[in-house]
Structure 1
Amino acid sequence: MPSLAMLFQSHLDPTLDGDRLVTQMLTDFPDLDSALLRVEPSKKADAPLSLSYGDQVISLMAFAEPVGDDLGEIAAYSRLWPNDVPAPSDYRAHTIVTVVRAGAAQTHVEAIADAVLMSKVIASAVALTETIVAVYFGSANHVILPALFRDLAIETLPQPMLPAWVALNVAPRPDGIMTGHTRGLDMLGLMDVEIVASRESAEDTFGRIINTSIYQLENGPVIGDGHSIGETDEVEVVVRHAPSQVETDKIVLSLEFPGQEFPVFEPPVDDDAPVEEPKKRRWFKRKR
Structure 2
Amino acid sequence: MSKSFLAFVLLERPVAPDMMALATALRTRHPELAKEIDVGAEDARQGSAGGSILRCGDQLIAIMSMPAAIPQDPGLWSRASRAWPEAKAIAARHRGHLIVSVVGRNQHLLSTARLMTAVIGALIATVPECQAVVWDAKVAHPADLWLHLSMQSFAPFPDYPFPLWVDVLPFRFQKGIGAVTMGLTAFVGREIQFQTSRLPLDALIKKVAGLAVYLIERGCVLKDGDTFGGDERERIAVRYKNSDQFNGMPVFLCTDGSSYY
Normalised-by-shorter TM-score class: 0.7 to 0.9
Q: Could you tell me how far 1:36 is from its partner in structure 2?
A: 4.7
Query: Could you tell me whether the CA contact under 8 Å between 1:22 and 1:39 is conserved in 2?
Result: no
Distance 1:248-1:100 versus aligned 2 partners, 3 A rule: farther
TM-score of the pair, normalised by structure 1: 0.75
Q: Which amino acid is the alignment partner of residue 183 of structure 2?
A: G
Name the residue aligned to 1:163. 163
Distance 1:245-1:4 versus aligned 2 partners, 3 A rule: farther
Aligned equivalent of 2:13, options 3, 11, 14: 11
Aligned equivalent of 1:118, options 116, 119, 144: 116
Distance 1:146-1:36 versus aligned 2 partners, 3 A rule: closer
Q: Could you tell me how far 1:145 is from its partner in structure 2?
A: 1.7
- Distance in 1 between the 2:246 and 2:189 partners? 15
- Distance in 2 between the 1:234 and 1:115 partners? 36
Alignment of 1:181-200 (within 5 A): 181-189=180-188, 191-196=190-195, 198-200=197-199
Alignment of 1:55-94 (within 5 A): 55-69=58-72, 70=74, 73-77=78-82, 79=83, 81=84, 83=85, 87-88=89-90, 89-94=92-97
- Which has more helix, going by share of residues? 2
Name the residue aligned to 1:284. none
Distance 1:9-1:47 versus aligned 2 partners, 3 A rule: closer
Distance 1:52-1:249 versus aligned 2 partners, 3 A rule: farther
Larger Rg computed on CA atoms:
1
- Distance in 1 between the 2:114 and 2:188 partners? 13
Distance 1:39-1:228 versus aligned 2 partners, 3 A rule: farther
Q: Which amino acid is the alignment partner of residue 17 of structure 1?
A: D
Percent identity (aligned): 22
Distance 1:8-1:29 versus aligned 2 partners, 3 A rule: same
Q: Secondary structure at the match of 1:144?
A: strand
Alignment of 1:182-261 (within 5 A): 182-189=181-188, 191-196=190-195, 198-230=197-229, 232-245=231-244, 250-258=249-257, 260-261=258-259
Q: Secondary structure at the match of 2:168?
A: strand
Q: Which amino acid is the alignment partner of residue 3 of structure 1?
A: F
Q: Which amino acid is the alignment partner of residue 162 of structure 1?
A: F
Name the residue aligned to 2:139. 142
Distance 1:112-1:132 versus aligned 2 partners, 3 A rule: same
- Structure 1 unaligned residues grouped into runs of 5+: 265-288
Query: Could you tell me whether the CA contact under 8 Å between 2:110 and 2:217 is conserved in 1?
Result: no
Query: Could you tell me whether the CA contact under 8 Å between 2:8 and 2:135 is conserved in 1?
Result: yes
Task: Count residues with an aligned counterpart.
Answer: 250
Q: Which amino acid is the alignment partner of residue 210 of structure 2?
A: N
TM-score of the pair, normalised by structure 2: 0.82
Name the residue aligned to 2:57. 54
Q: Could you tell me how far 1:223 is from its partner in structure 2?
A: 1.4
Alignment of 1:6-45 (within 5 A): 6-14=8-16, 16-39=17-40, 41=42, 45=48
Q: Secondary structure at the match of 1:214?
A: helix
Q: 1:107-134, CA deviations, whole angstroms, 9 ceiling, x for partnerless residues?
A: xxx2111111111111111111111111
Distance 1:235-1:152 versus aligned 2 partners, 3 A rule: same
